[in-house]
Chains A and B, each alone.
Chain A
Amino acid sequence: MTVLCLVVMSSLVLRAEDADGVRFFREKIEPVLKAQCYSCHSRQADELQGGLRLDFKAAVLRGGDNGPAVVAGKSGESLLIQAIRHEGDLVMPPKKPKLTDKTIADFVKWVEMGAPDPRDREPTDADDSKFEKARKHWAFQPIRRMGTLARPAVLSDEGTGKSAHPTDKRTLIRRVTFDLIGLPPTPEEVEAFVGDESAEAYEKVVDRLLASRHFGEKAAQQWLDVVRFAESEGYEYDRHIPGAWRYRDYVIDSFNKDKPFDRFLVEQIAGDEIEPENRECLTASIFHRLGPVRRNAGNTDIALSRNEVLTERTDILGSAILGLTVGCARCHNHKLEPILQKDYYRLQAYLAATEEHNIVLATSDEQAAWEIETKKGKDEIARVQKQAKDATDAAEKDRLAQLVEELEDRLPAPLPTIPSTHNDFAKRTAIHVLKRGVWENKGEPVQPRPLSVLTADQVAELSPGETQPRSQLAKWLTSPNHPLTARVIANRIWQQHFGVGLVKTANDFGLKGEKPSDPELLDWLAATLIDNGWRLKPLHRLMVLSEAYRGSRGEGRGASGDQNKATVLPSVSPLTPHPSPLLRRLSAEEIRDAMLAVSGRLNPKAGGPSVIVPVDPELVDLLYKPSQWAITADVTEHDRRSVYLIAKRNLRLPFFENLDAPALQTSCARRESSTHPPQALELLNGTLANDLALAFARRLKRECSSDHEKTIDRAFRLALGRAPTANELQRSSEFLHEQPLGEFTLALFNLNEFLYVR
């Protein structure tokens, strides 16, 4: 009776003193909580400790793993008080000096007052001032629309037909041909352009190149770099993924037919969901299979491996499509970006049911025959493995292990396959926030939801019953209102033509990334892309037709330019540089393709399984399974464009490795361009350069018999798109007088002018 009375009384008293209590909380308690406790016990915590939050009333009373933190009115029973008094096992705040006696007394008083706390609802992202500020970051704002009329001056295509200096025209066609199709212009194409006085001369060249089927082969390479395309899984086994090359063909075809970019993304993210019978869509879904996959013998840790796969598949969405480093939020809230750890796992949750799904493209008879053959082989392997297990002699064990490997190599080659994906909801991985990113440390469970910083607070997580989760993800990413997707791809195309993006960090549009050098231009490009139905070719076209692209021609690098031309002079101050294409060294693939084209050996065949060319046998021996490097039997295939050569993680062609081709392990936003002696050795002494120099020599002999002057002229025109100067002609003639033609052609392949475009 007395007790009840007291409780009723005290609650009455408190209600009367509510305002005072709140003031006391605001003045004495909340600042301490914020300064001392929130870093581990609030929504802002990198990693919530003890399951306890102290940033709203209900959470304080509910408490964490150890029970309620505060029992209103009973300081003696309140864990929070015990912890700050250092009375029990819990000592708070940890690794910091004990709170002052005065502060502790305030807390006791506050609890005795009934723990008045005005923080009635759970704080949202919007309540966090840091987060709110980050939301204002330029890249998270809607794309500003200025209308197509407001075409930025640098993109003016005025004067494309103006008859420029012929030297400039030679430089220009060489540049635009490499930029759009990755190959050098033929001498005939150069002369036709130089001789074409019409106003549309340049436009005609550009349209011819955009229509060329080589266009997709060039444009694909950048996308393949970004999605770290490879046809083997990496790690120990580096297993070849059967049919992975189909993804490469899919990308080339998509760019060639100018598939709308939003559709291109939807097919890759959710192709198997939206049209499970459509081969093109299933091929697009190989996208999820492209990351390195670790497989191991013995005790497999299924949950760990699954976590590694999901990590790969999630991180690439950030780098490739969003242009955000979401991967950093796997272990903790992003230190530099407004990306919560929870956001990371919500993104991962879209992929929770995604599983590998190999689709065999063969008749049932073919499949049955293949299965019989395979079973035969596998039975034999099992038999030998058992022998090996039973063998007591180490040498015998080794011999049998060797035999197992040989038998494995002799198993029938896989049937034509699309290494696609599908949803398997029965196997759906329950996605949790993982403390420190360690799969065993499961925190709060989450469902799919877009990144908080790009989403209204009231948007709920997707229901676990959603049958097409990746379609939902794709829909969000390709929404015309999405601030990142269009900007990111427009910037990549700019980078392809100007050497560096308007945002230099093409995979990072976040706070840590570079700011755009010209935000209006970027937005205009992004808006134009969306308004054109996400078609990329018009974007390529307007960039290469622009004055900016053409503008820096003939600025007089070396002998060919004319420094007095008005177009040379920059129209803006040096502090805001007028965009113009950078001098660039050709990529490894372009150099190889150019040598093939110039020597007349290029096999222009498009598509199909990847080609394996011979490399130094010692390098093949460094593969864990050297038999994987099964050289393509048809040698004419060895002369195909570089994009059709196998992309194998554990054995990259030394030629490519040397000339800055990416490592195929992580997303490559932009090629490095380094210069070092082994490159010179590769291009001077390497088998490829020497073989093709000899082929080039044979071509010249065929076309010019042994007329030195004619040979030299033709060689310069083929390799550099211009005739030799008198000086060059004389030096070359002297050289050829005493040296073999193959050394002359090798020298041309090593010329800076051959290796660079201006």
Chain B
Amino acid sequence: MNDLSTPPSMSARYGMVIDLNSCVGCQTCTIACKHANDTPPGVQWRRVIDVELGTFPNVERLFLVTGCQHCAEPSCVPVCPTGATKQRADGLVTMDYDLCIGCGYCAVACPYQARTIAHEQNWYYGEPTTQETYVAQPDRIGVANKCTFCIEKVDDGLAAGLTPGVDPDATPACANSCIATAIHFGDFNDPNSNVSQMSADDRAFQMHEELGNDPQVKYLYGIDNSMPGRDRTADDVDDEALQDPANPLVGKVQKFWDMRAAMNFTLGGMSTGLIIMAWLAYMLGSIPESALIGVNVVAGVGMAIGLFFVFLEIARKARFLLVLLRPQSSWMTRETYVVAAFYPTLLADLFWPADILHLALAIEAAAFLYCQARILQAGKGIPAWRAPQMPWMLIATGLLEGAGLLAIATTLHPDLRGATPIAAGLGGALAAINAILWRNYMANTSVNGIHPLPRKALAAINTPLRLIGQVLPLLGFAAFLGLWPTQPLVAALAGLGAVAGGIIWKMTVITKASHQQGFALSKVPQRGSGTRAAPARMGTAV
């Protein structure tokens, strides 16, 4: 196999131009790609979706070729904790299956639904056929997959002196196979290339341009003489259309990170929050050192359980340690380094308790919490995650959960009894901060590009979250402080609310409101029925 990491051409920038007025949605590219790349059942690196805009009798239907956009600023690359996903100088975003641990991070970071992970080898007829056995690619099971632009073919073609996009032997299978000549491949850095020429003069648009990935797949949308392009209008895709899960424009709930990942965020947030809160209580003299250590050990165990869950999420567990390879950009790698520092610190603190170790542990807990906050936000393919409020909410929730847990803990062990006011005070403040952040997040869902379906999932927890996770802690802690300072159970009840709220919120955000970006067109061909029809033409405009 070739070394794919070094491009044959350092000056090229390969990409595609796709003509929306040519593509008939026939799926030939889809199936040709499946042949050329031996992808297993259900995995389509090149997929063409069938889109409707508008409402009868004003309807437009079009076919949208999707797949990896080989972005100039790929959001999948920096998040990858192992370096399995890289970007070459010629723009191709590559996959090294041997390095991938199957964590799915790249998949949730991609706003183009380009990546898949097949967790097991499936066969089209249930049992393997001779051909399927022959072409099976076991190295691609349990790792992230996506369109490669047929990179080996491009490289081999270049090595043979061929021109990608011109010579079929140096051109991706989808472009070669397209029966409508809708898919064109070439070098955007060459002003004379087919793709540069076709996409010149604003004739092409990029999908989700506003996200800043600078995708290298550009869509042509207009033909001046017959079907001029137009800007998308509000009623092309209304809220109702976006509430239809069968609408291919609508992102589905991501399945890459499930309850296991959510457990890590939940337990990680709680544990780190608890450590920080306990340390504060210790520093303020409210609890003895032994109690702090006890709390830290319990929190460490909680965090470990969360990490174990996320370990279970990884498809290629034996390669787990490769996660350490990308500290320069991946918050997942950084989180792992924090963990690698945290547990030795905890152990050391257990045997040789010292204030400096307590402090170190609290700092590491904070770092862990911060990493988690950044991890989720870098999941750029999930609008509910990439919202600017998200890291602050994760931090504030973690701390609130920590305060809540501390308040509960004070009722369980007499040594911790003194921490109740601190837990209640900070908890109350954090509950208020959480309420403000949540309110702000929910008020800006549209601004943040969160579609109706995830909005609906979030709205479903709005009331319980506010009552249980915000109002109850706020009132409970306030009541403890102001009315019944001798009744720690009141604070504990508030703490329970804080913890429950955190769990409800994180589970929802990670597993229920985590719809993928979906697809959208900022410009469309002008064609269809009624108001969408191309203009009348009373002459020979050819």
Bound pair: A and B?
no
Chain B interface (Cβ within 8 Å of chain A)?
none
Chain A interface (Cβ within 8 Å of chain B)?
none
